[in-house]
Structure 1
Amino acid sequence: MRSIVRIVAIVAAAGAVTCLYTLVIPTPNHTTVALTLLLVPLVAGTSGLFHGILASVVCAFCFNFFFLPPVATLTIRDPENWMAFVVFLITALTANHLSSAAMRRAEESERNREEVSRLYQVSRAIIQASDPETAAGLLARQIKEAFGFSLCRIAVPDGTGSWTVVADTPGDAHRLEPPVPDRALNEISHAGHAVQTGDGAGGVMTCAPLRSGPVVAGVLICDSGKAEPATVDALAGLSALALERARFLREIGKTEALKQSDQLKSAILASVSHDLRTPLTSIMAAVDNLLSTDVEWNEDSKHEFYSIIKEEVERLSRLVQNLLEMARIEAGECRPVKDWGSVPDMISDVLARCVDSLVNHQVTLKIQENMPAVRWDERLMSQVLVCVLENAAKYSPAGTEIALGADLSVDTLRISVHDQGPGILAEEVPRIFDRFYRGKSGAKDGTGTGMGLAIARGIMAAHGGEIHVASEPGSGATFLMTMPVESRTNGDG
């Protein structure tokens, strides 16, 4: 339909020029007429070679029939007019050829520009493809969207001569049969360039090997007709680069994970071995003294040995409890069992449990009066407060004050602990809640596993809350725990 419209337009344009000179200008100049008629094939050439040639022939006919004597005939008697006719026809055809060539070059440049733009879009996907499990799927979708393919898949060999699709445009990890036979894919993988092959159902696919050095990691499969084989080769090169990059990132991640695991094991062994050795040494010494037959111990001495054993066993029990709690947090098994409870009562119980740790400190309380009951896991929150208070006691000089505050506002519970210790260096603040990390200033008695604050953070996170620290060296540290809670006034009661 478009071709017919263009033919009609060419005839109409030639007729319009002819009418202009025959009806409006009685005695036109032949050169002027020829130059005007040449505009028609020049413009028509932009629509294609056929339309340009047609326009040249039509305009040559009009020039001969209406303007070269004898007028209204196709006969040319004067040799000069023959020359004018031939020159006109050759000029028209040449102009048409040049116009068509310029148009083709412009279209080719535009296609190249669009292709480069699409390749750039795909290259951006390389940066995003950091996970080997999803990289192939991401690339397949990007290639399909950028180049308008109806099908784009990545197939990999399984080591037995068969091929499996690991990336298909509808999803990330579809395990489908390739649309190209295994034998053809094996040949393509050794070809070194994109080739077109049948899909076994009458269709044609363009396939290119994904080469990473001498190794073929897979084959890119696209439906033919949307891109040249050279373009598919370029896409295969980008895809191979992206998959190789994702593989390297995975290997780096594994290496880093192993390194961190080794560091963690070393930290656990160093911390736990020290904290196990100290109480075990005290227990063994007390037991040896009690079992010794060389000395007759009085009741006071025996009671002191029993007290040492009891204290060290409790210390070991807390260490084991912390290790178990840390393991639950790391495994995501720390799930609060919420029930109604009193914040002031919980604080009183915690202070009683920490009486030995806080014996050399004065604890001041600032607790909101008439605080309503809240719904929480009191056992876990008690453990959080114990960890924070014991940390404050360890890092504060004897005789200093520890301030403990609590208030409830708009269903948000806030508990704060402020000590008068040496404070925390700015560079330590981001790591203070890390597992097995102990501040550079060190506890005054040299003890501590570095698990307490990490456990506190894990429990707060399980409650949907947070724990933060604010500190300046020499001014102590303030730990603030916040969490959303239901209060008795708006709860179920």
Structure 2
Amino acid sequence: LATLLFNFFFFPPIGKFTIADPQNWIALFSFLTTSLIASRLSAMAKRRALEAIERHRDLEHLYAFSRAMLLIDKAGPFPQQLLDRLAEIFELRAAVLFERNTGAFCRTGIPDIGFEDVEERLREAAVHGMSLSDPNRQPIIVAVRLGSEPIASLALQSGMMPESVLQGIANLVAIGLERARAQGLAEQIEAARQSEQLRTTLIDAMAHEFKTPLTLIKAATTSLLASPDEPNDSRQEQLAIADEEAEHLRKLIDDAVEMARLDTTSTSMFIHKFPMCRRLFASVSLRWRARSTIGSSKSGATSNHPILRLTDV
């Protein structure tokens, strides 16, 4: 159009679409060539400007996705929240995430036609590391790699997305999944460490609790054995102390058994009543009676010390 107007208004005869001078043909074709080149350059610059805008928008989406990934809380499963953020930021109609380690699928959105065999295709992509980004075929299958090892796969249903954006999404998803796995492992290690510290503290406390009644029982029995001529009231007091501490010891053992039962499900305990106090008092009585008998035989007199009866305990 510009060439025709140039011919009509500037080349003689003016006002007509004819060219009288042959030199004007050179000027006309030069003008036509210049206009075509300028038009082509203008279209190329416009296209590149649009591509730059698209790349800038893709970078904004990737940045927003990485930021949203860091802000994911523990209110729900991390893979599901990650997929929801991805679909929201990139305006995906539907998306499916498959984790190779757990074999779990996470879904979001309402898929269109083409998601019938997506689970099998995602498994193959996660095992072999294959990606399928054909714009004429939906959904787009992207393998998620951590280094050279595929750890997951994505199925995305959206418009045309550049390969660089798809790889950026896959890399961010891989980083997010690995970060969540590392955090879970760190929490397990911390929980195990705290559990071990608690177990050590409980064992120390229980050791102290066991030593106290045993010390008192040992002191009572030693006193009874060392002083066979001790009055009956004092012996009864010592035996009462031993009986009380033996009962305390029994309760401690019951608590220890209960703690072991709560600590592990593989612990099997066979509880059997054992008359510990009666056996202890019987042993003390026999030792005291034997020592009294030896003392009586040496002095040539009959012992007047009363014998402790088990029925009195």
Deviations 1:51-108 (A, max 9, x none): xxxxxxx222222223332233221112333233222222222221111111111111
Whether the 8 Å CA contact 2:95–2:154 is kept in 1: the answer is yes
- 1:195 aligns with 132
Identity of aligned residues (%): 30
- Once the 2 structures are TM-superposed, how far is the Cα of residue 235 of structure 1 from its aligned partner? 0.9
Q: Alignment partner for residue 9 of structure 2, among 63, 66, 83?
A: 66
Are positions 1:302 and 2:235 aligned together? yes
Please give the secondary structure, in 1, of the residue aligned with 2:177: helix
1: CA distance, partners of 2:29 / 2:239:
127
- Once the 2 structures are TM-superposed, how far is the Cα of residue 289 of structure 1 from its aligned partner? 4.5
1: CA distance, partners of 2:204 / 2:57:
61
2: CA distance, partners of 1:166 / 1:125:
21
The 5-angstrom pairing of residues 453-468 of structure 1 reads none
- Answer with 212-221 or 237-246: which moved more: 212-221
1: CA distance, partners of 2:11 / 2:92:
56
- 1:402 aligns with none
Are positions 1:220 and 2:159 aligned together? no
1: CA distance, partners of 2:53 / 2:223:
95
Whether the 8 Å CA contact 1:279–1:312 is kept in 2: the answer is yes
- 1:167 aligns with 106
- Once the 2 structures are TM-superposed, how far is the Cα of residue 180 of structure 1 from its aligned partner? 3.9
- 2:181 aligns with 247
Pair member with larger Rg: 2
Whether the 8 Å CA contact 1:206–1:232 is kept in 2: the answer is no
Residue identity in the other structure for 2:29: V
User: How many pairs align?
Assistant: 256
- 2:308 aligns with none
Residue identity in the other structure for 1:138: Q
Residue identity in the other structure for 1:264: L
Structure 1 or 2: larger helix share?
A: 2
- Normalised to the residue count of structure 2, the TM-score between the two structures is 0.67
Pair 191,304 (structure 1): closer, same or farther in 2 beyond 3 Å = closer
2: CA distance, partners of 1:216 / 1:208:
10
2: CA distance, partners of 1:178 / 1:128:
30
- Once the 2 structures are TM-superposed, how far is the Cα of residue 124 of structure 1 from its aligned partner? 2.4
- 2:24 aligns with 81
2: CA distance, partners of 1:141 / 1:243:
14
2: CA distance, partners of 1:99 / 1:308:
105
Whether the 8 Å CA contact 1:195–1:206 is kept in 2: the answer is yes
Are positions 1:237 and 2:237 aligned together? no
Whether the 8 Å CA contact 2:95–2:109 is kept in 1: the answer is no
- Once the 2 structures are TM-superposed, how far is the Cα of residue 185 of structure 1 from its aligned partner? 3.2
2: CA distance, partners of 1:92 / 1:155:
54
Residue identity in the other structure for 2:28: F
Residue identity in the other structure for 1:166: F
Whether the 8 Å CA contact 1:195–1:229 is kept in 2: the answer is no
Pair 276,294 (structure 1): closer, same or farther in 2 beyond 3 Å = same
- Once the 2 structures are TM-superposed, how far is the Cα of residue 138 of structure 1 from its aligned partner? 2.1
Please give the secondary structure, in 1, of the residue aligned with 2:156: strand
Pair 193,70 (structure 1): closer, same or farther in 2 beyond 3 Å = farther
Q: Alignment partner for residue 260 of structure 1, among 194, 198, 201?
A: 194
- 2:121 aligns with 184
Pair 226,142 (structure 1): closer, same or farther in 2 beyond 3 Å = farther
Stretches of structure 1 lacking an aligned partner (at least 5 in a row)? 1-57, 172-176, 328-493
Stretches of structure 2 lacking an aligned partner (at least 5 in a row)? 261-313
Pair 223,70 (structure 1): closer, same or farther in 2 beyond 3 Å = same
2: CA distance, partners of 1:132 / 1:255:
21
- Normalised to the residue count of structure 1, the TM-score between the two structures is 0.45
- C-alpha RMSD of matched pairs (Å): 3.9
Pair 154,179 (structure 1): closer, same or farther in 2 beyond 3 Å = farther
- 2:264 aligns with none
- Once the 2 structures are TM-superposed, how far is the Cα of residue 286 of structure 1 from its aligned partner? 2.2
Whether the 8 Å CA contact 2:69–2:85 is kept in 1: the answer is no
Please give the secondary structure, in 1, of the residue aligned with 2:13: coil
1: CA distance, partners of 2:156 / 2:250:
64
2: CA distance, partners of 1:216 / 1:253:
25
2: CA distance, partners of 1:170 / 1:265:
47
- Once the 2 structures are TM-superposed, how far is the Cα of residue 264 of structure 1 from its aligned partner? 1.5
- Once the 2 structures are TM-superposed, how far is the Cα of residue 269 of structure 1 from its aligned partner? 0.6
The 5-angstrom pairing of residues 439-454 of structure 1 reads none
Pair 142,215 (structure 1): closer, same or farther in 2 beyond 3 Å = same
- 1:351 aligns with none
Pair 193,113 (structure 1): closer, same or farther in 2 beyond 3 Å = farther
- Once the 2 structures are TM-superposed, how far is the Cα of residue 282 of structure 1 from its aligned partner? 0.6
